[in-house]
Amino acid sequence: MSISPGIEIGIGTATPRFEDARLLRGLGRFTDDIHPAGAAFMVVVRSPHAHAGITRVDGDAARAAPGVLAVLTGADAEADGIGTLQTMVQRHRADGSPMARPPYRVLATDAVRFTGDAVAIVVGETLQAAHDGAELVAVDYDLRPAVTDVAQAESGPAVWPGDVPDNVSFVFRQGDAAATDRAFAAAHHVTRLDLRISRVSANPMEPRTATGAYDAADGTYTLHAGTQAPHKVRSELAEHQFGIPANRIRLVSPDVGGAFGMKGSPYPEYALVLWAARRTGRVVRWAATRSESFLSDYHARDQVTEVALALDEDGAFLGLRVRVLANLGAYLAFNTPHSSTNNLGGLAGVYRTPHIHAEVRGLFTNVQPHAPYRGAGRPEATYALERVIDQAAVELGIDRAELRARNLVPPEAMPFRTGLVFTYDSGDFPANMRMALDAADWAGFAARRVESEARGMRRGIGVANAIEIAGGPAASPNEEGAEIRFDPDGSATIVLGTHSHGQGHETAFRQIAATRLGLDPARVRVVFGDTATAAYGRGTFGSRSIMAGGGAFVRAAERVIARGRPIAARLLEAAEADIVFRDGRFVVDGTDRGVGVAEVAAASFVAAKLPPGSEFGLGASAIVAPGGATFPNGCHVAEVQVDLETGVVSVLRYLVVDDVGTVINPLLVKGQIHGGVAQGLGQVLMEAIVYDAEGQMLTGSFMDYAMPRASDLPCMTVISNPVPTAMNALGAKGAGEAGTVGALPVLMNAVIDALRPLGVTDVDMPASPHAVWSAIQKARIHKTRIHTKGE
Ligand code: MCN
């Protein structure tokens, strides 16, 4: 279908985004753009200490300050019955007992456990009045020792003294330990690597925001907040913080300026604005400043990993063993144990490794809670695997690409049950790698390296195969909801339970509607993000919206077609049995006489046009689970250049061959891959949350926390090698996180490749100029010592 001359729409077309007309002209409406009349402002008083007992919170001076409407503390929240935040992931300790789940209050009462922990809120007539009031809240702290480094957690001061003295929340083991041990015992060679994956903050352009309202007339709350999962956040608030039926809360998540997994959780501030609205009788607004975001958004990654790969004499992978220390932070938020334990299947990669065993120790420290961030465990798993493969290749003297090629799962082995959790349904991994190496001119790299060296630079190339689970869990993928509504003029509204915060769903779902129902995109609206509009949804995470939400849409579309068939038959004066639905139209089989869905929809509201006894309307909805999770996969090749004098790493080339199954919109998929790679590149080369010995964050602003800029990124090549999946009606695999999964390992592999001739075998993440320069100096000193000893 053509939307204007030269622009086609439908599945598979590179349709530009409909939402850009709004977003690029500054017409997007984000939570903080909504200014309800008479709104008051909330400021959160946060702990300046990483760990301290609270001996007094005194809000009297603040209460007396001009323009202050309320000062509320943790004790007030308890008195009002505001419940604690809950985690949805259950794990166990080593002895089999349930994991330690200390209470996560919306405002701390007895102690603060990270710098930024919320202690009180001040509501003011103006933002300034609330800020001034917040400065008058007196809190007496009894300082306690803190631990922020996960490697020190088990020997460090207890974050929950008395309750969890060893800081161990859980120990999670997966895989066959005995078989893995046997594989290692029989190995010709074992390669070991110790890795650190840095702590990062998602830093979306739009900081977190929330506006709460309470209607005393019927006891209902309305929350506007930029979240990825409106229905889920609402049900958590209803069940755990307020103890009311879910239908008493309406959650509206309008335009959202980036979320990246970080905005998928319920946060204390959401409950706080609603509670404050109830207490003050005013609409209450809160928006995090950038510095406050650093201190209050849930962080991600932050693992110490030991990985070992066992190989036979031909380089076949026999077993993989991984031990992870995962930094959970001080509290268990909604998804805190998720990333480090739910996606361990990614350790299998695209390889045949038969035996894999992983152990994850989930540890409390005095930092913010952990949450999923683009990839949520898959980049971490892939990083460990693809880095150890490079190291093994060097130790065995086998070319890195060749070693990978020897171990790839061939397409004819599908469905393939991996050595850990996942069963892959489809994909052509050897073709991905072949295409990537050819397109990146892997063979010509040696000449490019010489050319760089002639200019005093070091050049490195990396390859990494990426695979991830989308729309998991693997065993029982989650259901999603979609609805198609028609107005009497035949225009259609698609109502989604998923949420778009940059992915382009307003375009993608119009494309699916154009192909599946022949609907004119100009007469379609796509809406989401309001629990009062969408009956049901789980939300957007795990790259699931197209495969799960798209599947629900297709089921609803099938229902529309089934409802429309008798109406079409009447309009076409044919027998219902002769009506077929073809190319987006109801047609009389064997003829070119037909009628479109919009016309049938209009007729469905006119009694005279309906078959006798029919119901009015054509709309339909569906809540369905896909047949299975999907496994987007691909191969990344990156080329970097390192300036030995400064340690600066420049990424010169980046290429991805990806398989996201049926591509709905190649333009959107490329954009998603670009964005995912950019976030991976940021983490590998510059981003990191850093604390000092007392637990103070040293990287609390963009002056200290380096974000990647356009000039840090090369022009990327994205090549598609789609193998449709049979797991959902569209054949689509997820695309939203795929870029990040490959970017982490491939970039570090390229950096190490550049520096290996100098004797460098590892660089701390991020490979900042300082880290790279230090690694070079260390290797030089080491070499000089060996040389001197030899003399
Ligand atoms: N797509 C496609 N063909 C496919 C799969 C996807 O054309 N086979 C396109 C779709 O059109 C869709 C987009 O790619 O618009 C992403 O689809 P999907 O892979 O289903 O992922 P979700 O829409 O569920 O998005 C979630 C994913 C996640 S988990 C994170 S984190 C992330 C990401 O998307 N956060 C983002 N991409 C982001 N992009 C932006 N701009 N902002 C974020 O916060």
Closest Cα to atom 33, ligand 1: which residue?
A: 736
How far apart are the CA of 257 and the centre of ligand 1, in A?
14
The answer to whether the peptide bond before residue 410 is cis (omega within 30 degrees of 0) is: no
| pLDDT reported for residue 105 | 98
Smallest CA-to-CA distance from 68 within 276, 289, 292 is with 276
Each residue of 82-114: pLDDT tens digit?
A: 999 999 999 999 999 999 999 999 999 999 999
End-to-end CA distance of the chain: give it in Å, rounded: 77
How close is the Cα of 704 to the center of ligand 1, in Å?
29
Q: Please give the average per-residue pLDDT across 300-319, as a whole number.
A: 98
Inter-residue contact 769 to 706 (CB < 8 Å) = no
Question: Left if phi > 0, otherwise alpha if psi is -120 to 50, otherwise beta: which for 613?
Answer: left
The tokens describing 692, both together, are: 């000092």
Q: How far apart are CA 392 and CA 402, in angstroms?
A: 12
Q: How far is the CA of 511 from the centre of ligand 1 (A)?
A: 15
34 and 260 in contact (C-beta within 8 Å)?
A: no
Query: Which stretch of DSSP H or E encloses residue 289?
Result: none
Give the mean pLDDT of 220-232. Answer: 98
Task: Give the Cα separation of 133 and 142 in Å (integer).
Answer: 23
The length of the chain, given as a count of residues: 791
Q: What's residue 1's pLDDT?
A: 60
460/475: higher pLDDT: 460
Are the beta carbons of 576 and 503 closer than 8 angstroms?
Answer: no
Q: Nearest-5° angle of CA 385, CA 470, CA 101?
A: 80
Mean pLDDT of 161-177: 96
Percent of the chain with pLDDT over 90: 96
pLDDT at 6 over 70: no
How far is ligand 1, taken at its centre, from the CA of residue 336, in Å? 22
Is the shortest distance between the CB of 207 and ligand 1 below 6 Å? no
Alpha-carbon distance of 283 to 273, in angstroms, equals 8
Residue with structure tokens 């702290």? Answer: 141
Q: Could you give the CA distance from residue 773 to residue 196 in angstroms, rounded to a whole number?
A: 18
Q: Which of 503, 667, 679 to mutate to test the pocket of ligand 1 (most atoms within 8 A of CB)?
A: 503
Is residue 2 over pLDDT 70? no
The answer to whether the beta carbons of residues 235 and 246 sit under 8 Å apart is: yes
Helices 400-407, 378-396: crossing angle, 10 deg rounding: 110
The predicted pLDDT at position 246 comes to 98
Tell me if 492 sits within 8 A of 527, measured CB to CB. Answer: no
The alpha carbon of 145 and the centre of ligand 1 are apart by a number of angstroms equal to: 42
pLDDT in tens, 393-443: 999 999 999 999 999 999 999 999 999 999 999 999 999 999 999 999 999
The atom of ligand 1 lying closest to the CA of 541 is 29
In this prediction, residue 789 carries a pLDDT of 61
CA of 672 to the centre of ligand 1 (A): 6
pLDDT of residue 786: 67
Question: Residues 703, 290: contact at Cβ < 8 Å?
Answer: no
Residues 6+ positions from 153 with CB-CB distance below 8 Å: 147, 167, 325, 327, 363, 364, 365
pLDDT of 775 above 70: yes
Question: Residue 5, class by beta-carbon neighbours within 10 Å (0-12 exposed, 13-18 middle, 19+ buried)?
Answer: exposed
Residue 682 CB coordination number (10 Å): 23
Helices 550-571 and 505-517: crossing angle in degrees, nearest 10, is 40
| Residue 303 CB less than 6 A away from ligand 1 | no
The single residue listed with the structure tokens 């959970």 is 328
H-helix segments, 88-211? 127-136, 177-185
CB 639 within 8 A of CB 652: yes
Q: What is the pLDDT of residue 9?
A: 87
Give the position, in ligand 1's atom list, of the atom nearest the Cα of 665.
7
pLDDT at 476: 76
Determine the 3-state secondary structure of 682 from DSSP.
helix
Give the residue carrying structure tokens 């979240």. 227
Tell me how far the alpha carbon of residue 422 lies from the centroid of ligand 1, in angstroms.
22
- Determine whether the shortest distance from the Cβ of 264 to ligand 1 is under 6 A: no
| Ligand 1 center to 232 CA (angstroms) | 19
What is the pLDDT averaged over residues 126-138?
98
H-type helices in 101-204, by residue range?
Answer: 127-136, 177-185
Rounded to 5 degrees, what are φ and ψ at 114?
A: -160, 155
* Residue 544 Cβ < 6 Å to ligand 1: yes
Cβ pair 639, 750 in contact under 8 A: yes
CA nearest ligand 1 atom 11, residue: 508
H or E element, residue 412: none
589 pLDDT exceeds 90? yes
- CA–CA distances in Å: residue 778 to residues 107, 641, 684: 46, 19, 20
Atom of ligand 1 nearest to the CA of 675: 39
Which residue's alpha carbon is at the smallest distance from atom 13 of ligand 1? 503
- Identify the DSSP state of 549: I
Ligand 1 contact, 669 CB (< 6 A)? yes
Q: Does 719 score more than 70 pLDDT?
A: yes
Among residues 355, 329, 324, the alpha carbon closest in space to that of 340 is found at 324
Q: How confident is the model at residue 790 (pLDDT cuts 50, 70, 90)?
A: low
Q: Give the whole-angstrom CA distance, residue 750 versus residue 641.
A: 9
Helix then strand count (H, E) for the chain reads 19, 30
Q: Give residue 561 CA to ligand 1 midpoint distance, Å.
A: 28
Find the mean pLDDT for residues 194-210. Answer: 97
Alpha-carbon gap, residue 685 to 708, rounded angstroms: 8
- CA 355, CA 182: separation in Å to the nearest integer? 9
The answer to whether the CB of 737 is under 6 A from ligand 1 is yes
Q: What is the pTM of this model?
A: 0.96
Q: Would you say 579 and 571 are in contact if contact means Cβ atoms under 8 Å apart?
A: no
Q: Which residue has the tokens 């990396």?
A: 462
pLDDT averaged over the chain? 96
Cα distance between residue 54 and residue 676, in whole Å: 41
Q: Is 253 in the pocket of ligand 1 (CB under 6 A)?
A: no
